[in-house]
Structure 1
Amino acid sequence: MAHPTEDKNFRLPLTVRPQRYAATLTLDLEAKTFSGQQTVDVTLADPTREIILHAISLKLGDVTFRAKGGASHKPSSIQVNAVSETVRLTFDAPLPQGEAQLDVAWTGAFTDGLRGLYSAGKVAATQFEAADARRVFPSFDEPAFKAKWSLSVRVPQGLAVLGNGPVVKEEKDGALTKVTFQETEVLSSYLIALVVGPLVGTPVEHVGTVPVRTWALEEKKHLTRFGQDVALAVLPRLQEYFDLPYAFTKVDQVGIPDFEAGAMENAGLITYREVALLLDPATASLAVQKRVAEVVTHELAHQWFGNWVTMVWWDDLWLNEAFATWIAFKIVDQWRPEWRMWLDFDSHRTSALFLDALKSTHPIHGEVNNAGEAGESFDAITYEKGGAVLRMIEGFLGEGPFRDGIRLYMRRHARANAVKEDLWNALGEAAKQPVEELATAWVGQSGFPLVTAHVEGRQVTLSQERFYSEPGAKSAEKWPVPMVLRYEDASGVKEQRVLLRDKQATVKLEAGSGAVKWLCANAGSTGFYRVAYDEATLAGLSANLHALAPSERISLLADQWGLVRSGRATVGDLLDLAARFGNEEDDSVLDELVGRLAYVESRLVEGEDQARVRAWVARLLGPGLEKLGWQALAGETDRVKLRRAALVRAVGGLAREPKVLEEARRRVASMLKGERDALEPNLLDAAVSMAARSGDAELFDIFLQRMPGEPDPATQRRYLMALTAFEEPALAERARALFFSDTVKTQDVASFATGLLANRTGRESWWAQMRKQWKDVVARTGGAPMLVRRIVESLGMLHTREHLDAVRTLLKEQPVNDAQQATAQTLERLSQDVELRERCGPEVSAWLKRQP
C-alpha cells in the first residue's frame, strides 16, 4: 500500500507538533552551500513510529529523537519523497507520547531561483512564502505549525547579518563570525528570514520602544530615508487601529537587489524589491512615492494580520493579503489625505474586475490542495477583490463596528491560527449584524454582479445577474449587494442605501423631491460590481459629469468598457462617452480615459483607422496639454503635475503627436546631459518611453550603459523597460538578445518579456523566438511562481486569431504545470480580445467616419 507521503496533496499529521526550533546555519557564500544543525522541541499527541518533516534538496546527516527523561532513538530509515517534498523518519520502536527533542544535522545548497536561500547579487537572502522554508530547514513547513525560533548563523566576517530578532550575541568563530538572534514569538515557518551582505542601515529610530531601521547596499543608502519615514509614520497608526502593540521587538526593512514579489512580511525583518522601498524624493514621481508608502504599510499591517494571527492553511491566504491590501490604503490615506489613495485603490480594483469576469476565475476563498497551488493564489482576486470586499463590508457595518470586530478577532486568536469563520464571528459579534450572509456570498462565490438601474420618476428598478466578459455567457448566481445610490433632484444631492438581495427590486427614492436629474448606482465607487444604466439615465450622467465624484466618473468609463467587452454596448457608445471628457481636469479620471482609448488604438484597429484614432485623441486632449505646457510652475500642486503627465501620455504616447514627441526627445536628451529641471519627475517614464520608440542606436547604448550602474531602482527600471520600446528593427533585435543575458535580472524577466511583446515592430520576431525557446523562456524565471505566472500572462499581449491559435498549441504541447490557472485565464482573455477585435474594429472605423 502506498504511503500517504507519495501524494503531492499530503498534509502533515497533527499528532506531532513543533514548539521551538534551536538552529545554527553555516553559510559558504562563495560555494553557495550551507550546513545546519538544529534541535526541535516537539510534542507527540500519541505514540508513533514515524516523524515526517518537509525538506527539498537537503541531505540529512545525524538524526536523534530524545524523549523527555527517556531513551534516545535513531531512525531505522530516512525516506525522501520528492512528490510531497518530505522526509519520513521511521523508528523500530514506537516513540512515546509527550514532550521530546529531535536533533537533525543537514547540508544544502543555495537555490538558483528567487526562493529558499539564494544569491541576489552581493546579498544572500531568504524567501520562504509560500512553502520554501523546507529548502533551508528540515521543518514542519505548514502555517498551522507555529513555533518559537532561536537562530544562529555563521558567516564570513565584515558583513551585515539580519534575522527576525535583534542580535543578542556576536562572536568570532574561527574564520567566521557567529551571530545569534533573540528568540522569536511563535511563528509559522514561512515567516522566518535571514539576510547577509554588505548592507548599510539608517540610524536607529524608535516608535515607542520599537527600533526601526531601513537597509540597502552602500551605494543606495541615500535612498533609504523615505521608506524609513513611512514606517515611522504608519507603525503608530497600525498599533492604534489594532489596539495592540507591535509584537516582534524590532522593524528592519531591507532592499534586496533581486526579489520575486514586491515585498515579504517576515516578522521583524521585512524584505523588499528595491523599487518598492528605495527612492529619492527629489526625483521620484508621486506614483512611485505612493507605491512605496502603500507597500511598506501593507507589510507592516501583516505583522498583526498574518504574523500575530495566522491562517490555518493556504485556502485562507486572502485573510492575510486582502486585509493588508485594504488597510494599507486606509492608513496611508490617513497619513497623506492629499494623495487620494482610494482612487489608486479603485484603479487596482479594476484588474480584479476584469479577471473576475472570466469563467476561469476563482473564489477569494478557493480550494488549495498543496503548496504548488498556493503559489497560484497570489493574484488580483486574492489581493484586490479581497480588499474591495472588505471595504464593502466595512461600509455596510460602519467604520467603528468593523474596527471593533477586527480588534476582537486579534485578541481572540493571538499567537494562534484562524479561519475565515473566526473573522465573520468577530465582526458579527461586534457589529451585531448578519455578517456571514454578506461575507460568505462574496468570499465563497466566484464572479460579481452586473446591476442594471432603470430610473422612472422617483422609482429605481434594480436587477442583478452575474457579469461575464464573454458575450452571451449567463449563470444563475446572485449576491446580497450593498449599494449606495447617489442622485440629484430639485432639493439637491442625496444618498440612499439599499441591500439588493433579490434578482430584482424596485426602490423609491425617499429623500428629496422633484425630478431626478441624474443617478449614480455605485456612489463613491465602493461596490464591487458593474452598473448598466438605461439610455435616459446614462444620458443624464453624461450631461452632468461635473457633478460626479472622480471615482464615479472612473467607474462610469470602466463599466461602459465592460459592457462593450461583453457585447451589451457598442464601442461607439464608449467613444461617445469618452468624447464628453475633453475638458476633464482630474488626473485619475484622465488615467482611466487614456487607458481605455489606448486599448482601442493599439488592439482594435490598424493602418488608417489607427491613424484616425490618434488624430481624434490629439484633438480631444491636445488643447489641455497646450494650455498646461511641459514646464511645472512654482507652487504647482501635485494634481496639476499629474494631469500634465496623463495628458503627455495621451497626446504623445497614445496619439504620437509629432510636436509632443519632438519635445519629449529634446527634454530626454537634456536630462541625460544632467539638466535635472528638463523633466518634472512625473513626466520621466512617459518621456523616456516616447524617446525610445523613435530612438537611434546612440540612445539605446546610453540606456544600456547607464542602467546597470544606476543606484535609483525606479530609474534603473525605466531604462531597462525603455530598451524594449525601440521600434527600429535592428534595435528591437538587440533588445530581444538581452532577455537571456545578465542585463535582465531574474526579477525583471516577465516585465521585459511583456515589453518586447508590446513592441509593434519587434513583436512577431520575439513571439517566434518565444515559441522556439519556450522552455528556456520559462526557465529564466528560476521557477519563481509569480514570475512563471506572469510569463504566461504576457502572451495576452498578442492580438490576432493566428496568435491565439499558436498560443493554444504552445501551451498544450509545452504546458507550464505551475501556472495552470494563469494558462486558463490567459487563453480565455486572449480569446475574448481576439473576438472583440474582430467585432469592434469595423465599429470603430464607422464611428470615426461619422466624426467632424
Structure 2
Amino acid sequence: MRKGLFLSKAVVVTCVVAAIGAAATIIALSVVYAQEKSKNEMTLQSTDSPTTSPTSPTTPSTPKEPWQRYRLPESLAPISYNVTLWPRLEPDADNLFIFTGHSTVVFRCVKETELLLIHSNKLILTSFEGYFAKLRGLSGAAAPSLKDTWLEIPTQYLVVQLNSPLQAGSTYELYTEFVGELADDLGGFYRSEYIEDGMTRVVATTQMQPTDARKAFPCFDEPAMKAVFHMTLIHPHETVALSNSMNYDPVNITMNGHNLIRTSFEPTEIMSTYLLAFVVSDFKFISMPPNADIRIWARRKAIEEGQGAYALEKTGSILAFFEDYYNSSYPLTKSDQIALPDFSAGAMENWGLITYRETALLYNPGVSSNGDKEWVAIVISHELAHMWFGNLVTTRWWNDLWLNEGFATYVSYLGANFAEPTWNMKDLIVLNQIIGVMSVDALASSHPLSSKEEDVLTPEHISELFDTITYSKGAAVLRMLSEFITETVFSNGLHTYLEEFKYNNTVYTDLWKHLQMAVEKANIKLPHSVEVIMNRWILQMGFPVVTINTQTGEITQKHFLLDPDSVVDRPSEFNYEWFVPITWIKNVGDEQQYWLLKKEATNTNMTLVGANDWLVANMNTKGFYRVNYDSDNWERLLAKLSSRHLDIPVINRAQLIDDAFNLARAKMVSTTLALRTTKFLDKELEYMPWETAKRNMNYFYLMFDRSEVYGPMQAYWKKQVTPLFNHFKEITVNWTKIPENHNDQYNQVNAISMACSTGVEGCEALTTGWFKEWQDNPANNTISPNLKYTVYCSAIAAGGEKEWDFAWSMFKNATIATEADKLMSALSCTKEPWLLNRYLGYCLDPKKIRKQDATSTIISIASNPIGQPLAWDFIRDKWDHIFNNYGGGSFSFGGLISGLTQRFSYEFEYKQLLQFKEDNAGQFGSAATSLEQALERTKANMNWVALNNKEVFDWFTSEAPIPN
C-alpha cells in the first residue's frame, strides 16, 4: 500500500472556483426541496409501489417495454462518474434532513439505441427545459436531442427517450441534479444519529449493497456495470469526509454565507456501484506506522478509550495473510475501516472504506468478552477477504452471490486463525457455520446455492439471497472443496483466477476452471473435474445422508430431509445425487478417503471385524453431509463415548451428537439413540460437544417446555451439567480467574448458563449476587466480560421490575456497543409478561431501540417461552408498520419470521401462520422464503412431537427420576 497523492496549489484554486459554481446550483435545489417532495411524493414511495410518474406510460402486467424490465439493456456501458453531494446534518424548516447533488456519468454506446435507462430511486430530479437530464456528446460525437424523460417507479429507472439514436462506439455524458432525503432507513445515503457529551450528533453515511446506490445518485446500478468514480463531498467545518479512495487536500469554501469544506477524492479503481461508500462525520481515527494507510475510525470517545486498538492491530496481519494467500498485493492505496452507530448489516466490504456496526469493529478488553473479540477478528477478516474476492474480481450478477459471500465466510476463518493462532478458528467454523445451516438446508423449502440470472431480478429477490444458505452453506462446500484438493492447490487456483479477471466480472464456472488448472498442475487425482463434482453441490439444494453398514461395507446416499414426509417439488437434473468425498477412521487408525459417486456402493475396507472395533466417518466434518450407521456400529460408538470418549476426535464427538439428533428428527434412528449420545457429557470438558448438545437440546425445550416432559428433561440436563459446573468452579478457583483457553472460556459460559437454567445448586445465588453488587455500585461493574450476558439474563429472569429497570438504565447509558448489546438481549429474559410487552413497544421507538436492533430484539423476546406468544401477537398487530418502516427488503427481515415461529408445534399455531400469510399477502419482501420455511418447519414439529412425546418423557424419567 502507498499513501495518497495531494493536489498542487494551482489545482486547489481551480477546485475552489468549480466548487462555488456547483454550490450555487446545489443551494437552488435545496430551497425547493419541500415543495418538490410534495409534488413528487411518488418518487419517494416504497419500491413495491405500483405507481408511476404522471408522464410515464401505463405499465402492463407483462413487461413489454425495456423500462418495465428489471435488468438494464446491454446497449450502454459506463466509464466514469463525477459526483458532488452535499448532505445537510441539520433538519430544514420542514424538519427533513436532505442532501443535494449533481452527477455526470460518461458512458460508451455499445449498441445503437434511442433509449437511455439509468437507475434512480427516491430522488427528486431537477428539470432542465422540461427534461430530467442533459445529454452531451464527447470526442466529436453529436448528442441526439431528448424526446421525453420520466421516472419509472416500479423498476427504479430514469428513462430518457431520444429523437435519434446514440451511435455505437461513441461516448457521451449524462448530467443530472437532484435532491434526496437523508433518512434514517439504513439504506443508500442515510443518516445515523448518536449522543455524545449530551449532544445529538449526525453522521451521513452509506449502505449501497445490493441495489441502493441509485438512492444516492442516478447510476447504472448493476455489479457488472463497473466504472471509475470521482467523488466530491461538501460538508461543515469540524467534520471530515471519507470515501473509497484517498482525499485530496480539503478546500474551504463559502456558499450563501455558509463556511463549508469541499473534499474531493482521487479517482477510484474500476469498481461496481454497490461497493461505493462515503461518510461525513466528526469521527476520529487511529493509525500506526508502518501501516499509516490503515485507519480505524469511530466516535471520538470510542477512539479515545482505545476501542479501535484491537482492530488496528489485527488488520495489518490479516491483510498480510491475504496478500500471501492470494499471492496478490493489496490493490488500493489505503484501508479505512469505520464503526457506525446505525448500520443494518454486520459490515460492508466497500472498497477502501469498510463500514461496520460498532460491535463488529470496536473492542474494549475490560468490558468486551472473548466472543466479542472473536467476532471482531472474524468480521474484519471476512471484509478484507472481499478486497480481492468480490471487489477486485466481482461476480456478474446477484445469482452468484453465494460464491462471493460463501468464499469470504470460509476464508475469514483462515485469516482469523492466522491473526489468533491459539483460538482453533479452523475448527470453530464447524460450529459457527456448518452445523447451523444444515438444519435449514434439510428443509424441502430450501434453495440451491446458485440460481439462474433470470430468476433473480427484483431488489426484493436479490435481498432474499442474503441468507444462511448463501453465507454458511457457501462456506461449507468451498471448505469441502479446499479439503479434497488441498488448501495449497485451492490457493494457487485463486491466484490465477484473480490475475485473469482483476477489475472485471465473472461467473462461478470461471473459478472452477482455474481450480481445475491448479488440480491438474499438482497432479491431484479426482474422480471427475472440479466443475462436475461441485455442480452437484451448488445447482441442487440440500445434501446427502450417507449410510454406512460396517457389517457388509455397503454405502448408500439419499437426500436428507428433516421431515421425511415433506414434498420436494423442486426438480433436480442430478436427481438429488452427489459426488461425496467420504473420510473415515477405524478405531484410532489413519484417516482414509473414498468417493461415493452413485446412490449405492460397497467398500469392504469399511467393514468391522473385532468385537470392539468402531468406525466414524466425515472426519472433522470436512464434508457437507450427515452420516448414519448400522445399529451395531452406533452401539459401539456409544460404548466408546461412555468408556474412552477422547479416542474419538473432538469435532467428531460433536458431529455424532448433531447427526444423531437430526437423524432422529428424520425418523432414521430412534430418538432415544440420539438422547443417549449425551450421556457421556458428564465426563466431557470440551466446548464443541457441549455446545452442539446444548443446541440440539434446545429443540427439545422449544417443543416440550409447555408440556409434562419439561420437568424430567430439566432434571436430566441438571444431572449432566453439574460436573461441568463444578469443574469450572474448581479451575477458576471459585470463579475468581478466567480460563486460559479460548474454547474453555466459552464452555465456562455454557456451564453457568445451563446450570442456572436447570437449577444447579448455588448457580442462581452466584449470578444474582454478582448482579446485586453491580446494582449497589453502578460505577463499578466487576462481572467478568465473558460472563456478563449470562449473569444479566439469569439475574433479570430471577428478579422483577427493579432489576429490569436497572438494566434498562445501564443499557441507555452504555457507551460501549458490545456492553449495550448484552444488556439489550438480557432484558428479554424477564419472566414478567408486562415488562416484555413494554419492551416490545420500545422496539418500535427508534429513540429507545435503534432501527438496526429492532428485529433482533423482537426475536430475543420471542426466544423466551413467556415472551413468544406476546411477540407473535405484537408482530401480527403491527406488521404493516414494521414492514414499511423497518425494511421489508432488508437482509435480516427473514430472520424475524424464523425467530418468531421456532417454537410452533401445535395445529392452532400452524393455522395462525397460514392466516398471517393470507392477511399480509404480497407484503413479506425478503421474508417470503422464511415464511414458507416456517410453515414447513411447523408442520414437521407437529408431527415430530406427536410421534415422540411419550418416548421422550419415558426416557428422561428413567434417566433422571424426579423425587416425590
TM-score normalised according to structure 2 size: 0.85
Matching of residues 653-802 of structure 1 within 5 Å: 653=757, 655-657=758-760, 659-672=762-775, 673=777, 678-741=782-845, 742-799=847-904, 800-802=906-908
Say if 2:725 is the partner of 1:625.
yes
- 2:186 pairs, out of 114, 117, 121, with 114
Alignment of 1:77-92 (within 5 A): 77-92=148-163
Measured in 1, the distance between the counterparts of 2:836 and 2:559 equals 43
Q: Does 1:295 align with 2:379?
A: yes
| Contact preservation (8 Å) 1:668, 1:678 | no
Aligned to 1:493: 589
Kindly indicate whether residue 387 of structure 2 is the aligned counterpart of residue 281 of structure 1: no
- How far residue 502 of structure 1 moved from its aligned partner, in angstroms, is 1.0
1:439 aligns with 2:537: no
Superposition pairs of residues 152-171 of structure 1, within 5 angstroms: 152-171=232-251
* Distance in structure 2 (CA, Å) of the matches to 1:324 and 1:634: 32
Q: How does 1:121-132 map to 2 (within 5 A)?
A: 121=193, 122-132=202-212
State yes or no: 1:585 paired with 2:685: yes
> What is the DSSP-based 3-state SS (H/G/I as helix, E as strand, rest coil) of the residue aligned with 2:603?
strand
Shift of 1:362: 0.6
Equivalents in 2 of 1:700, 1:839: separation in Å? Answer: 40
Query: 1:575 Cα deviation (Å)?
Result: 1.5
* Contact 1:469 1:562 survives alignment (8 Å): yes
Query: 1:608 Cα shift?
Result: 4.4
Closer, same or farther: CA 86–602 of 1 in aligned 2, 3 Å? same
Matched, 1:105 2:177: yes
**Match in the other structure for 1:269:** 353
The aligned counterpart of 2:41 is none
What is residue 390 of structure 1 aligned with on the other side?
478
Aligned to 1:804: 910
8 Å Cα contact 1:496/1:509 also seen in 2: no
Mapped partners of 1:789, 1:205: distance in 2? 43
Structure 2 counterpart of 1:65, from 130, 135, 139 = 135
Amino acid at match of 2:577: K
Map Cα deviations across residues 33-86 of structure 1 (whole Å, 9 max, x no partner): 112212211111233212110010112224222212244444221121111111
SS of the counterpart of 1:281? coil
Instruction: Report how far residue 587 of structure 1 moved.
Output: 1.3
Q: Which moved more, 1:567-576 or 1:233-242?
A: 567-576
Indicate if the aligned counterparts of 1:740 and 1:780 stay in contact, CA closer than 8 A: no
Task: State how far apart, in whole Å, the 1-side matches of 2:901 and 2:66 are.
Answer: 36
Deviations 1:542-569 (A, max 9, x none): 2223211111111111111111221222
Task: Name stretches of at least 5 consecutive residues in structure 1 with no aligned partner.
Answer: none
Partners of 1:10 and 1:192 in 2: CA distance: 21
The one-character-per-residue Cα deviations of 1:313-366 (angstroms, maximum 9, x if unpaired) are 000111210110111111212332321113321112122101110111111112
CA distance in 1, matches of 2:375, 2:311: 11
| 8 Å contact kept, 1:67–1:96 | no
Is structure 2 residue 935 aligned with structure 1 residue 827?
yes
> Contact conserved, 2:67 with 2:152, CA < 8 A, in 1?
no
Shift of residue 772 of structure 1?
2.0
CA distance in 2 between partners of 1:36 and 1:418 (Å): 33
3-state DSSP of counterpart to 2:583 = strand
Structure 1 equivalent of residue 523 of structure 2: none
Amino acid in structure 1 at the alignment position of 2:579: P
C-alpha distance in 2, partners of 1:693/1:746? 25
Q: CA RMSD in A?
A: 2.1
Alignment correspondent of 1:23: 83
The residue matched to 1:337 in structure 2 has which SS? coil
CA apart distance, 1:497: 0.7
Match of 1:376 among 464, 467, 474: 464
C-alpha contact (below 8 Å) 1:131/1:190 kept by paired residues: yes
Task: Tell me the equivalent position of 1:14.
Answer: 74
For 2:688 and 2:367, locate their aligned partners in 1 and report how far apart those are by CA, in whole Å.
21
Distance 1:797 1:515 in 2: 43
Residues 570 and 840 in structure 1, CA contact (< 8 A), matched pair in contact too: no
1:369 alignment partner AA: L
Q: Please report how far the alpha carbon of residue 5 of structure 1 lies from its aligned counterpart in structure 2 after TM superposition.
A: 5.3
The one-letter code of the counterpart of 1:375 is S
Range moving further from structure 2, 639-648 or 574-583: 639-648
Amino acid of the structure 1 residue aligned with 2:673: D
1:360 equivalent among 445, 467, 472: 445
Q: 1:364-397 CA deviation, whole Å, 9 max, x = no partner?
A: 1123223321100011111111111111111111
**Which range moved further: 552-561 or 110-119?**
110-119
**Which residue is equivalent to 1:466?**
559
Residue 346 (structure 1) aligns with: 430
Alignment counterpart, residue 640 of structure 1, candidates 744, 747, 754: 744
Q: Measure, in 2, the Cα distance between the counterparts of 1:295 and 1:285.
A: 15
Provide the C-alpha distance between the structure 1 equivalents of 2:781 and 2:656, rounded to a whole number of angstroms.
Answer: 37
| Shift of residue 634, structure 1, vs aligned partner | 7.1
1:307 matches 2:391:
yes
SS at match of 1:811: helix
Which whole-Å CA distance do the structure 2 matches of 1:705 and 1:807 have between them? 36
Residue range with higher mean Cα deviation, 79-88 or 109-118: 109-118
Task: Give the drift of 1:159.
Answer: 0.8
Contact kept, 8 Å, 2:581 with 2:596, in 1: the verdict is: yes
Q: Which amino acid is 1:657 matched to? A: V
For residues 401 and 627 of structure 1, what CA distance do their matches in structure 2 show? 43
Letter in 1 for 2:318: V
Q: Tell me, in whole angstroms, the C-alpha distance in 1 between the residues paired with 2:950 and 2:293.
A: 62
| 2:735 maps to amino acid | Q
How do 1:831-850 and structure 2 match up within 5 A?
A: 831-850=939-958
Kindly indicate whether residue 502 of structure 2 is the aligned counterpart of residue 414 of structure 1. yes
Q: CA deviation at 1:638?
A: 3.4
In 1, are the aligned partners of 2:739 and 2:745 still within 8 Å (CA)? no
SS at match of 1:617: helix
What secondary structure, in the 3-state scheme, does the structure 2 residue paired with 1:686 have? helix
Task: Specify the SS of the correspondent of 1:293.
Answer: helix
Q: Report the counterpart of residue 508 of structure 1 in structure 2.
A: 604
What amino acid does structure 2 have at the position aligned with 1:445? Q
* Among 488, 510, 522, the residue aligned to 1:400: 488
Contact kept in structure 2, 1:25 and 1:153, CA below 8 Å: yes
Cα 1:8–1:465 change in 2 (3 A) is farther
| 1:149-203 Cα deviation digits (max 9, x unpaired) | 0100111221121100111131112122111011100010000001111211113
**Secondary structure of 1:146's aligned partner:** coil
8 A Cα contact 1:164 1:268, kept in partner: yes
Counterpart CA distance in 2 for 1:804 and 1:601 is 19
Q: What per-residue deviation string (whole Å, max 9, x for no partner) do you get for residues 724-766 of structure 1?
A: 2211233223222212222111111111111222222333333
Structure 1 residues 132 and 639: alpha-carbon distance in aligned structure 2, compared to 1, 3 A threshold: closer
Deviation at 1:9, TM superposition (A): 4.5
SS at match of 2:274: helix
- Whichever residue aligns with residue 826 of structure 1, its letter is A
- Alpha-carbon separation, structure 1, partners of 2:765 and 2:80: 64
Alignment TM-score, normalising by the size of structure 1: 0.95
Per-residue Cα deviation, 1:611-660 (whole angstroms, up to 9, x for no partner) = 2211111111112212321514377433433322111122113x133531
Aligned residues: 844
Identity of matched residues, %: 27
The runs of 5 or more residues in structure 2 that have no matched partner are 1-58, 92-96, 194-201, 521-525, 569-574
Residues 1:112 and 1:5: Cα distance change in structure 2 (over 3 Å)? farther
- Distance in 2 between residues matched to 1:634 and 1:808, nearest whole Å: 49
Counterpart in 1 of 2:924? 817
1:604 lines up with 2:704 in the alignment: yes
Quote the offset at 1:305 in angstroms.
Answer: 0.3
Residues 605/26 of structure 1: CA separation in 2 closer, same or farther (3 Å cut): closer
Return the letter of the residue paired with 2:895: R
1:812/1:235 CA distance change after superposition, 3 Å: same
Q: Is the Cα–Cα contact under 8 Å of residues 556 and 601 in structure 2 kept in the other structure? A: yes
